[in-house]
Homo-oligomer: A and B are copies of this chain.
Amino acid sequence: MKQETEEQQDFVKDITKMSVDFDRWYTDVVRKAELADWSGVRGMMVVRPYGWAMWEAITRAFDDMIKESGHENWAFPLLIPQSFLMKEAEHIEGFAPEVAWVTRAGASKEELEEPLAVRPTSETIVGSLIRRYIHSHRDLPKLTNQWNSVVRWEMRSRLFLRSREFWWQEGHTFHASAQEAIEEADLILGYYRSIAQDWLAVPVLSGKKSPAETFPGAVHTLTVEGLMRDGLALQMGTSHYFGQNFARAYDISFSNKDNEKELCYSTSWGISTRLVGALVMAHGDDSGIIVPPKVAPIQVIIVPIFRDAESRTKVEGFIDGWARELKAAGIRHRVDWRDERPGDKYAHWELKGVPLRLNVGARDVDAGQVELVDRLSRERRPVPVAGIAERLQKELAMFQSRLFERAQEFQRQNTFEFATLPEVVAHFRERAGFAWAPWCGDAECEAKIKAEAGGVTIRTIDPDEKPSGKCLVCGKPAKHRVALAKAY
């Protein structure tokens, strides 16, 4: 974001091509576009300002959505006593293998009476605490959210997607009826769809997970699933309906309108910094990343072009003349005055995926125009500086749409429909993408798909279409139409 050293400049020329090795391309661009790095603490990342600013844009958008519908932010403790964690059997079975434990503390480093888990997620501490604040049906719904980081002792690692610490929001809500809690989980899924599609320009499939892919302790899990440019699916957000499972384990009850004691119905839901990885993998190309304007830390980069001090002064005065219009219009922009050649600057900002670039030379000053280059088409177009702020706002909106349409087109070209497991196996031997297929709902058939098609899983169940035909595995009548994919 600031002035770079030569060493960093060299990075730009040193990126593995996406077409050659997607995984290496990903790591290269995340690091060289200055989004994040490994931290030297095994499996834990450091998120740099350019990456963090994208997450901040996402957090602001989502925080506005949930506050508008009456949710409130809380801060629950980071450390959770072992006994709190152990109350919901399925849940703890899912998380125990990934927990980091605080066992010693204080001046003498004495052993604690009870180990404390660094939260891997907060259902258990929220459940333990919220019961104090719920007595009557008039206390419901309780719509809580918190922004924090969680720790999970992952053995595999990939920047933003899988690391021992990640940043997220976790919502936990408590309701007086099953219906209301189910609607809450649906409402949040809609917000997640909007974040993915309207903000990150990533089209998603959304619907229920199969039982095998359901969150530990949940009755059902809803998901939004995007398609990355290597054809792998990425789970971009999940919203869980728990029924009364957690309320039972943590004794969260209320007196209902008939003055009878009843257990609450609850939900939880989360999106994380993994979404920064999603936008990288959904939109990038061999030149680097492409950042959707709505979450771009820099929407417009201005590159002055000059030969000498005189032409520099001329160009600088010209830019000063209209740059304040951009600021007034809320366009996030920067002028790159670094001591580098224009071509290197172009490559640098393409790597960082800035949507629009304005090249401004002395001849442009005379003509009262700038040269507009967008990160998608890379065409150079002259643009008069009269009314430039309004023009750039339109261009940014168009860029956002075109990026989404491009991703939609990619999704369409990589979505298939199959009737039998051999077809699915054959497809995933050669290609990737989403494969729709009919499924009977049986866990054995689901396991067989995964085993035979090299790790392919049911990403989501079609919420709209009634299934026709027979299960792709066993041939019994299908209950669901499901989207299959290899996934991160």
A residues at B contact (CB < 8 Å): 1-5, 7-8, 37, 39-41, 44-49, 52-53, 56, 72-81, 84, 96-107, 109, 115-116, 118, 125, 128-129, 132-133, 135-136, 138-139, 142, 144, 148-149, 151, 153, 155, 164-165, 167, 273
Q: CA separation between A382 and B56, bound complex, in Å?
A: 44
The answer on a CB contact under 8 Å between A2 and B105 is no
The smallest beta-carbon distance between A396 and chain B, in angstroms, is 20
Q: CA separation between A321 and B301, bound complex, in Å?
A: 46
Q: CA separation between A49 and B145, bound complex, in Å?
A: 9
With known contacts A74-B52, A96-B107, A102-B118, A79–B41 Cβ distance under 8 A: yes
With known contacts A106-B97, A139-B3, A41–B116 Cβ distance under 8 A: yes
The answer on a CB contact under 8 Å between B149 and A44 is no
Q: CA separation between A109 and B80, bound complex, in Å?
A: 16
- Which single member of B56, B72, B151 contacts A73 (CB below 8 Å)? B56
The residue on B at minimum CB distance from A107 is: B97
With known contacts A101-B105, A105-B153, A148-B149, A39–B76 Cβ distance under 8 A: yes
Which of A48, A77, A149 has most chain B Cβ within 10 Å?
Answer: A77
With known contacts A78-B149, A129-B40, A73–B99 Cβ distance under 8 A: no
The residue on B at minimum CB distance from A135 is: B5
The answer on a CB contact under 8 Å between A45 and B77 is yes
The answer on a CB contact under 8 Å between A104 and B105 is no
Q: CA separation between A148 and B39, bound complex, in Å?
A: 17
The answer on a CB contact under 8 Å between A46 and B74 is yes
The answer on a CB contact under 8 Å between A115 and B104 is yes
Q: CA separation between A165 and B78, bound complex, in Å?
A: 8
25 residue pairs of the A-B complex, CB under 8 angstroms, read: A2-B138, A3-B139, A4-B138, A5-B135, A5-B138, A5-B139, A37-B129, A40-B128, A44-B77, A44-B79, A46-B75, A47-B75, A48-B74, A49-B74, A49-B144, A75-B149, A75-B273, A77-B165, A79-B151, A79-B165, A97-B107, A100-B106, A101-B109, A102-B102, A103-B103
Q: CA separation between A72 and B4, bound complex, in Å?
A: 16
The answer on a CB contact under 8 Å between B47 and A74 is yes
- Which single member of B37, B47, B78, B138 contacts A118 (CB below 8 Å)? B78
Note all chain B residues with C-beta closer than 8 A to A98: 106-107
With known contacts A3-B139, A5-B138, A118-B118, A49–B73 Cβ distance under 8 A: yes
The smallest beta-carbon distance between A352 and chain B, in angstroms, is 14
